Amino acid sequence: MVIVAAICGVALIVMVLWEGFETIILPRRVTRRFRLTRFFYRGSWRPWVKLIKILVPSRRRESWLSYFGPLSLLLLLSVWAGGLIIGFALIHRALGSAVLTMTGKTGFLTDLYLSGTTFFTLGLGDVLPRTFPSRLMVVVESGMGFAFLALVIGYLPALNQSFARREVSISLLDARAGSPPTASEMLRRHGSEKGKEALQQLLHEWERWSAEFLEGHLSYPVLAYFRSQHDNQSWLAALTAILDTCALIIAGLEGACERQAELTFAMARHAVIDLSLVFKTNPRKMNPERLSPEKLVELRLLLAGSGLKLHEGEAAELKL
Q: What is the pTM of this model?
A: 0.80
Contact (Cβ atoms closer than 8 angstroms) between residue 97 and residue 111:
yes
In the chain the first and final C-alpha atoms are separated, in Å, by: 65
Q: Which CATH class is domain 2-153?
A: mainly alpha
Q: Which amino acid is at 315?
A: A
Domain boundaries, given as residue ranges, for the chain: 2-153, 173-319
Q: Which amino acid is at 40?
A: F
Q: Is the peptide bond before 288 cis (omega within 30 degrees of 0)?
A: yes
CA distance 75 to 71: 6
The pLDDT of residue 235: 93
Kindly tell me if the per-residue pLDDT of 29 is higher than 90.
no
Contact (Cβ atoms closer than 8 angstroms) between residue 236 and residue 258:
no
Contact (Cβ atoms closer than 8 angstroms) between residue 136 and residue 130:
no
What does the pLDDT look like over 61-101, one tens digit per residue? 888 988 999 898 889 889 999 999 999 999 988 888 877 77
Containing 26, the helix (H) or strand (E) segment is: none
Mean pLDDT to the nearest integer, 271-296: 85
* Mean pLDDT over each residue of the chain, to the nearest integer: 86
Q: Is the peptide bond before 180 cis (omega within 30 degrees of 0)?
A: yes
Instruction: pLDDT band for 273, please (50, 70, 90 cuts).
Output: very high
Exposed, middle or buried: residue 26 (CB in 10 Å: 0-12, 13-18, 19+)?
A: exposed
Kindly tell me if the per-residue pLDDT of 268 is higher than 90.
yes
The pLDDT of residue 257: 85
Contact (Cβ atoms closer than 8 angstroms) between residue 310 and residue 253:
yes
Q: Which amino acid is at 93?
A: R
